Amino acid sequence: MNPSYIAAPMSRKAIRELALLIRDVVGLKDKDSFPVIPFLEKGLPQIDEDFVLEIKETAKMKEYGIAYPKDRKIVLREDVYLKAIKDEPRDRFTIAHEIGHYIMHIPERIGLARTNEKPKPYQDPEWQANTFAGELLAPSTAIDGLTINQVAEMYKVSKKVAEIQLRYTRSRAIGA
């Protein structure tokens, strides 16, 4: 998404609840890793019968992926798609991020910013999609007490994503 866009405000808690709802609909337990490719290929089309997944040749696409909620489409670069099939953490996150845009950023919930100032995180479409991806892949409600390496391995996420998710698990525990 272009940084000149602003999204309807969403808190981390609201985004977490949305991600947990999707995990629940898919039938995942707390410790299960999220099946990004099956969800993309089978789950989203069941939720939205007009959903289209398009895979473009790597050489013909600069971005890793783009969601077009208005057009009901997600476009992925072929290398990202193929690496996600092999459970590469970076590519799984990219797809979860685009799923977040697709679900959260329908036209009614997003618009052009009227200023050049950076939006507040809770109104930033990129922050929202990153937060959604982290919660979908490694729910902060399920990882308390785990190490970064355990989270990364169990949920097939990068150590950076594991670290971020653990930070929010700990800050939630102390009331932040």
116-138 pLDDT, tens per residue? 777 888 889 999 999 999 999 99
Q: Which two tokens stand for residue 90?
A: 């970076």
| pLDDT given at position 112 | 64
Q: Assess whether pLDDT exceeds 70 at residue 173.
A: no
| pLDDT given at position 152 | 98
pTM recorded for the entire structure: 0.91
Provide the pLDDT confidence category of residue 2 given band limits of 50, 70 and 90.
very low
Q: Assess whether pLDDT exceeds 70 at residue 72.
A: yes
Q: What is the mean pLDDT of residues 49-53?
A: 97
Among 29-33, 54-58, 90-94, 157-161, the range scoring the smallest mean pLDDT is 29-33
Among 8-12, 133-137, 145-149, 152-156, the range scoring the smallest mean pLDDT is 8-12
> Would you list the domain boundaries of the chain?
5-173
Provide the pLDDT confidence category of residue 3 given band limits of 50, 70 and 90.
very low
Contact between 65 and 40 under an 8 Å Cβ cutoff? The reply is no
What value, to the nearest 5°, has the Cα angle with vertex 101 and ends 64 and 117? 90
Contact between 22 and 136 under an 8 Å Cβ cutoff? The reply is yes
- Residues 135 and 115: their CA atoms lie apart, in Å, by 29
Q: Assess whether pLDDT exceeds 90 at residue 159.
A: yes
Q: What is the mean pLDDT of residues 84-110?
A: 93
Q: Assess whether pLDDT exceeds 60 at residue 174.
A: no
